Structure 1
Amino acid sequence: MKKTTLISVCAGLALASTLASAQAVRGVSANAKANAVPTTKMAPLEHPSTAVRRQLAEQRGLTHSVARMWSEALLDSIRHDLARPTVHARNLYHTSAAMWDAWAAFDAQADQVFHIEKMEAADAEAARNEAISYAMYRLLRHRFMLSPAAPFAFPEYDALMSDLGYDTSYTDTQAATPAALGNRIAQTIIDYGLNDGSNEQLGYANLIYEPINPPLLPEFPGNPDLLDPNRWQPLALEFFVDQSGNPIPTGYPDALSPEWGLVAPFSLNENDLEIKQREGFDWYVWHNPGNPPYLNGEGDARYKWGNEMVVLWSAHLDPSDGVMIDISPASFGNSPLPTVEDEQDYYKWIEGGDWSPGHDINPVTGLPYEPQIVPRGDFGRILAEFWADGPDSETPPGHWFSILHYVSDHPEHENRFMGQGPILDPLEYDVKSYLVLGGGMHDIAIASWSVKGYHDYIRPVSAIRHMCDLGQCSDPEGPSYHPQGINLVEGYIEVVTAESTAAGERHEHLAGNEGKVAIMAWKGPDFIDDPDNDVAGVDWILAENWWPYQRPSFVTPPFPGYVSGHSTYSRGAAEIMTLLTGSQFFPGGMGEFEAPMNEFLVFEDGPSMDITLQWATYQDASDQTSMSRIWGGIHPPADDIPGRHMGAAIGPEAFTEARRYFNGLKSCPADFNPDGAVNFYDVGFYIQTYLNNDTLADMNGDLQLNALDVMDFLTSYTNGCP
């Protein structure tokens, strides 16, 4: 290794330190620019046959890499598996790392994540395809071996290997061949996964977590057994009735991954971690946003306000109410990231939506966005279902892989990393984009579920039923008063009285329930006999019978609420997509997804007209994801905004970590040239990186650029490369 002279080191130190002192401490950011490409609509290539899927791609003029084919096979497997967003974020990361390690084995400069081994080949492209395929085949068969997806997935893996011309019976891990290398990569990651804190060997079972509250039986009125209104409550959808007529829960799912903070991350570091104590156990909490609001505690008013908003937005879920809104980017989107202090200004509490001003023009076409006027009830229902990512879906992290594929398939999309430099071949672009997105989704799963596990926060279906069981808290002199009850909102949340149940009055159909709280809300699954033709609609119902806008076999996710995983995943993915493409805008200035009339919705009929979801930017899509969880009755606002801020921090953090692997900076942190050697040129490159406010210059991983980073660079510079 060539060493620089002492003079060079001193000169670099003096110059870099001078620059560090001249610059104020600043956060890491990235600039964005638009790509001039035409608009297309989202059309995922979903088909059980890999050969047919390839034909569909070719019909659209697309040539997919081997990595893309295996990514699609993984997404198919996730759709047929249990809805486990943490587990599948980990699968997306580990498979992405496997494909990257196979690609990087044939690149002298790039660093590998799990399996460190270089190999030479006369035909590097063919060798990479082969190594990637064997690594993915072995790893996917291991990960989905006990999955309900296996009967579907295993034949798909076999078919893809056959289609690519590879022998599935080849299991050698000793030979100096690309296939054996792929098998070694898979085995390395399999071994790693059995010791990464996920408890994979025991089916990802919880080791210490136990819920405080007994389960809620949503098919029965109210929430009579809740012990702590600030802690999560499981749901029991199966029960038997004893001789006295009491429903007895017979089973409910364990909370998903409340101990996920123990899982080994991709880019998270000690700056992001707090170790908290609760009930005699250590809880590893990453990017902790602090406490949520508590009923009858700090944040009582905010707790009530947020859950009341969930009720108010439930009243929007009827397309026949006559309310029409513009959902085009001209009216939705372009919102700055709100803070918790902005919460009550940010959301439109009564009418729904947020403070976003929309976009004046499409920056790619230079023309205004065309309005799209639709029933608000259809928009809320479509958002709730499109972003639900529950059963039979790719789950939230996989959904953003599908969006990545949509962007990559755009007819004029160019594979320029960060929107700059040369056009990369499809395989290189795919393996790099998968590692940045997979690593980010994995770290977001760890961070958001570590917060969920530690704070163990209640969901709206439990909180709303509980507060309404207690009564109203608005009028101490009025009927059914309780200080921990819900606030009354005229026309939306009211107490049933003799006057309101009189003939012809609004609560007439609730007669006999005087003194209970009624809400104007989506009526729920009891009003849907035929999902292909029935619409439940909105009306006055007893609050004790309120349901989220979800399928009755699901109701609400089986894990604590705070923070919203959807908000965290989506904001982090939006940040990554912006950095990856070099533009905050979708190709052509707009991403689109069609929801056909009377075909898109699953558990009731709708929408009532053809509707196209539209987003100008990735962050606009992320913001709609967050709002969808409120319309769906899954999260109050308190879960949302802190999650967005976590995603906004973790996404760029993961992106920068991936770039270190791409540039060889993991093994040689001072080689900013990069040429495999440390010399005076690296000082100049580091200075330029620092002055450009580039996250790569953040040497200590604290998301700040300051003199400490300069000193860390110079320490690495002095140490040289291994």
Structure 2
Amino acid sequence: MDKRVLTDKSELRKLVTSVGAVFLASVLFTACGGSSKKNEDVTPPVVLTPERDGHSVARMWNEVLLTAIRNDYARPTVHARNLFHISSAMFDAWSVYNPQAHGFLFGNEVAGFSCAADTINVPEDVLPQQELAISHAAYRIIQHRFKFSPGTFEIMEAADSLMQNLGFNIDDESLDYSQGSAAALGNYIADCYIQFGLQDGSNEQNDYANTSYQTVNPPLALSGGDPGNPNIVDWNRWQPLAINGFVDQAGNPIDDAPSFLGPEWGSVVPFSLSDNDKTEFTRDGFDYQVYHDPGMPPLIEGELSDEYKWGFSLVAIWSSHLDQNDGVLWDISPKNIGNISSFPNSFTEFNEFYKQIEGGDPSTGYALNPVTDQPYEEQLVPRGDYTRVLAEFWADGPESETPPGHWFVILNTVSDHELLEKRWAGKGDILGALEWDIKSYFAMGGTMHDSAVAAWGIKGRYDYIRPVSAIRAMAGGQSSDPALSSYHVNGLPLIENYIELVTESDPLAADNPENVGKIKMYAWKGPEHISNPVFAQAGVDWILAEKWWPYQRPTFVTPPFAGYVSGHSTYSRAAAELMTAMTGSAYFPGGMSEFEVKANEFLVFEEGPSVDMTLQWATYQDASDQCSLSRIWGGIHPPADDIPGRKIGAKIGTDSFEFVQSFFTE
């Protein structure tokens, strides 16, 4: 699956130009007084549209939207909402002309907001009108939502080019569709979503700023600061990072100590989430809205203190897997990886699911590809290459469409597959490109939006610490043996060959005798050991635990929001459940999806990988599970953040699909 679908504007132009001519012909025919309505004397001409030839207009606008997200700030919550609102607006515009569907916002009241709808005459050939309304709806919302983006010029150039190639008038801003204008209808629907968005709890009018949240911990200085985490106040709570020249995951310079992104996002009006799934938690005078509350994560001095230490030490140990020269080879094919049947039910069972020393999970793989009825072919690669590729592939860094957008890319890749039969839920007639895209985008948009509302509501409520803060805080001591030096009840557990004490003969003490008795760990050495990421890599060795780094860029380190629960795990599992339901199969078309990785070309954080490889997934859930593990190898999440996110995502994906069905009456 190609993460770089249509990131280049020239490719976008090729796509729209290939269908623009025939679509423009149909628009001009109608504008010049033509009619496709049947009468007893005239047989209407066949009107060719993108529905019948090539990509649908909905797909074209989705590509423009993904381009817009790649050129905006890295805000997964905001973009999950953008993906939903624009996909839903396109669905509403399409459904006006379809008697077997009804809109989400158009003609309805949602959370107290009404979008009134008047009757519109529906022509016999509805496709040109649907696509005109869809285009105006998408265009107007993109124009509104991305007008202050750092890449607004590139965004609007892509949007304007698509409108031009489709033959539509960007200057037609009328909202009056009483005379049957599809363009005005699209503008009106867009205006409903824009007004809805200004009162949906997102605080869009103030650039999504927090209204109440305050962090309890001072920033951890990672650029020129003291080793360890000497100023942390609460080892259970989120801590901002102070990084000189901080750059967000979209490549945009941000404040050197960015604030928590979206701690109050649980208050945003969701798609399918129910009040029955919601609890409320008040802290510092603010009522945090929490859907699918997973309960308290492990705390450093609570009943699950050992699980807290185990989880964050596992992150440190998995950091040792980021070395292509460690001699460990893994079969990364579906023959060996994937097919997880269940998750642990409590934090005390996590050590039975995650392989603390070796890495990975209890995957069993698959004996046969169910589509070809042939065995999956073994693929042996160095573990240190595979883990680094995973960490970067799923990280959604520069030029990325963020995690919710990433799943739209996956959806588009699946939709383009020659073996996919576009039968909704795997049943009934094969749908045309437009109907399939409209319905699947509506479903995926709502699912990704609900995932953001749920995950970030939990993040705000629990305000949980990230690995870089926890590991550096615990690095001041060891909690395994009171008889040994540097004992501290809240210190790191000693684990032979991975977390040990520095001795007098240790190389770490050769020029620095003050390091004797400190905690060391065998881990990725960090970005300061990379002279140039194009041709150098840090490698793995013994380092002082107080200097531990996640496998990330030095200008980023960790996302600026709490860890619990993992957004990647929630988004991905929800999307996987939805893809399974929409396609009627747990498997990718053909029984496997692939992504090619070239040696010494793919990695950005450092040189590598050392070999070519192909990331492979048999099922949508396998891809989701791999995404979840990638965040541990990347040093972003401990296991405690992961499994609750997967479980919540599974529930959201199932509920969202059931809710989507209520908008179809066929």
Scaled by the length of structure 1, what TM-score is found?
0.82
Letter in 1 for 2:651: A
Map of 1:523 onto structure 2: 525
Cα 1:430–1:130 change in 2 (3 A) is same
Deviation at 1:227, TM superposition (A): 0.2
Letter in 2 for 1:147: S
Deviation at 1:121, TM superposition (A): 2.2
Q: 1:86, 1:257 within 8 Å by CA — same for their partners in 2?
A: yes
Map of 2:112 onto structure 1: none
Give the number of the structure with larger relative contact order, counting CA–CA contacts within 8 Å between residues 6 or more apart.
1
Asked if residue 166 in structure 1 is aligned to residue 168 in structure 2, the reply is yes
Map of 2:426 onto structure 1: 419
- Cα displacement string for residues 510-549 of structure 1 (whole angstroms, at most 9, x for unaligned residues): 6541121111111111011111100110001111111100
Map of 1:266 onto structure 2: 271
Unmatched tracts of structure 1, length 5 or more: 1-39, 241-248, 664-673, 675-722
Of the three residues 358, 367, 375, the one matched with 2:374 is 367
Map of 1:482 onto structure 2: 488
Q: 1:510, 1:541 within 8 Å by CA — same for their partners in 2?
A: no
- Cα displacement string for residues 182-208 of structure 1 (whole angstroms, at most 9, x for unaligned residues): 000100000000000000000000000
Of the three residues 129, 132, 149, the one matched with 2:131 is 129
Deviation at 1:509, TM superposition (A): 7.0
Map of 2:86 onto structure 1: 95
Letter in 2 for 1:558: P
Deviation at 1:41, TM superposition (A): 7.3
Deviation at 1:62, TM superposition (A): 8.5
Q: 1:42, 1:592 within 8 Å by CA — same for their partners in 2?
A: no
Map of 2:535 onto structure 1: 533
Map of 1:254 onto structure 2: 259
Deviation at 1:590, TM superposition (A): 0.4
Letter in 2 for 1:86: T
Asked if residue 199 in structure 1 is aligned to residue 195 in structure 2, the reply is no
Map of 1:666 onto structure 2: none
Deviation at 1:578, TM superposition (A): 0.2
- Classify the secondary structure of the residue corresponding to 2:664: helix
Q: 1:441, 1:572 within 8 Å by CA — same for their partners in 2?
A: yes
Map of 1:216 onto structure 2: 220
- Cα displacement string for residues 656-703 of structure 1 (whole angstroms, at most 9, x for unaligned residues): 11110122xxxxxxxxxx5xxxxxxxxxxxxxxxxxxxxxxxxxxxxx
Letter in 2 for 1:382: V
* C-alpha distance in 1 between matches for 2:77 and 2:404: 9
Map of 1:235 onto structure 2: 241
Map of 1:492 onto structure 2: 498
Asked if residue 294 in structure 1 is aligned to residue 296 in structure 2, the reply is no
Letter in 1 for 2:6: L
* C-alpha distance in 2 between matches for 1:618 and 1:320: 31
Map of 1:429 onto structure 2: 436
Deviation at 1:618, TM superposition (A): 0.3
Of the three residues 629, 650, 653, the one matched with 2:652 is 650
Map of 1:9 onto structure 2: none
Map of 1:51 onto structure 2: 13
Deviation at 1:595, TM superposition (A): 1.2
- Classify the secondary structure of the residue corresponding to 1:283: strand
Q: 1:317, 1:376 within 8 Å by CA — same for their partners in 2?
A: yes
* C-alpha distance in 2 between matches for 1:398 and 1:513: 46
* Mapping 1:293-312, distance limit 5 Å: 293-312=298-317
* C-alpha distance in 2 between matches for 1:234 and 1:83: 17
Cα 1:612–1:239 change in 2 (3 A) is closer
* Mapping 1:446-485, distance limit 5 Å: 446-469=453-476, 471-485=477-491
Letter in 2 for 1:47: D
Deviation at 1:275, TM superposition (A): 0.9
Letter in 2 for 1:73: V
- Classify the secondary structure of the residue corresponding to 2:594: strand
Asked if residue 385 in structure 1 is aligned to residue 372 in structure 2, the reply is no
Q: 1:41, 1:591 within 8 Å by CA — same for their partners in 2?
A: no
Of the three residues 166, 176, 189, the one matched with 1:185 is 189
Scaled by the length of structure 2, what TM-score is found?
0.89
* C-alpha distance in 2 between matches for 1:571 and 1:372: 25
Cα 1:160–1:57 change in 2 (3 A) is closer
Number of aligned residue pairs: give it: 610
Deviation at 1:123, TM superposition (A): 2.3
* C-alpha distance in 2 between matches for 1:484 and 1:230: 12
Map of 1:409 onto structure 2: 416
* C-alpha distance in 1 between matches for 2:300 and 2:366: 38
Q: 2:465, 2:563 within 8 Å by CA — same for their partners in 1?
A: yes
* Mapping 1:50-129, distance limit 5 Å: 50-54=12-16, 63-116=54-107, 117=117, 118-119=119-120, 120-129=122-131
Q: 2:290, 2:458 within 8 Å by CA — same for their partners in 1?
A: yes
Of the three residues 279, 286, 291, the one matched with 2:284 is 279
Cα 1:633–1:57 change in 2 (3 A) is farther
Q: 1:43, 1:406 within 8 Å by CA — same for their partners in 2?
A: no
* C-alpha distance in 1 between matches for 2:220 and 2:134: 46
Deviation at 1:402, TM superposition (A): 0.3
Cα 1:43–1:589 change in 2 (3 A) is farther
Q: 2:239, 2:466 within 8 Å by CA — same for their partners in 1?
A: yes
Of the three residues 615, 628, 645, the one matched with 1:613 is 615
Cα 1:190–1:250 change in 2 (3 A) is closer
Q: 1:507, 1:540 within 8 Å by CA — same for their partners in 2?
A: no
* C-alpha distance in 2 between matches for 1:226 and 1:51: 51
* Mapping 1:22-33, distance limit 5 Å: none
- Classify the secondary structure of the residue corresponding to 1:238: coil
Map of 2:332 onto structure 1: 327
* C-alpha distance in 1 between matches for 2:182 and 2:377: 52
Deviation at 1:52, TM superposition (A): 2.5
Deviation at 1:239, TM superposition (A): 8.9
Segment drifting more, 259-268 vs 212-221: 212-221
Cα 1:510–1:567 change in 2 (3 A) is farther
Letter in 2 for 1:202: N
Q: 2:574, 2:652 within 8 Å by CA — same for their partners in 1?
A: yes
Deviation at 1:507, TM superposition (A): 6.4
Map of 2:36 onto structure 1: none
Map of 1:22 onto structure 2: none
Of the three residues 622, 625, 644, the one matched with 2:624 is 622
Deviation at 1:44, TM superposition (A): 2.6
Map of 1:568 onto structure 2: 570
Cα 1:507–1:313 change in 2 (3 A) is farther
Letter in 2 for 1:531: P
Deviation at 1:56, TM superposition (A): 9.4
* Mapping 1:347-366, distance limit 5 Å: 347-366=354-373
Deviation at 1:385, TM superposition (A): 0.4
Deviation at 1:411, TM superposition (A): 1.5
Segment drifting more, 71-80 vs 382-391: 382-391
* C-alpha distance in 1 between matches for 2:485 and 2:524: 25
Q: 1:385, 1:601 within 8 Å by CA — same for their partners in 2?
A: yes
Q: 1:198, 1:262 within 8 Å by CA — same for their partners in 2?
A: yes
Map of 1:20 onto structure 2: none
- Cα displacement string for residues 457-491 of structure 1 (whole angstroms, at most 9, x for unaligned residues): 0000000000002x001110001000000000111
Deviation at 1:412, TM superposition (A): 2.2
Unmatched tracts of structure 2, length 5 or more: 21-51, 108-116, 247-253
Q: 2:509, 2:515 within 8 Å by CA — same for their partners in 1?
A: no
Q: 2:16, 2:166 within 8 Å by CA — same for their partners in 1?
A: no
- Cα displacement string for residues 426-484 of structure 1 (whole angstroms, at most 9, x for unaligned residues): 00000000011100000010000000000000000000000002x00111000100000
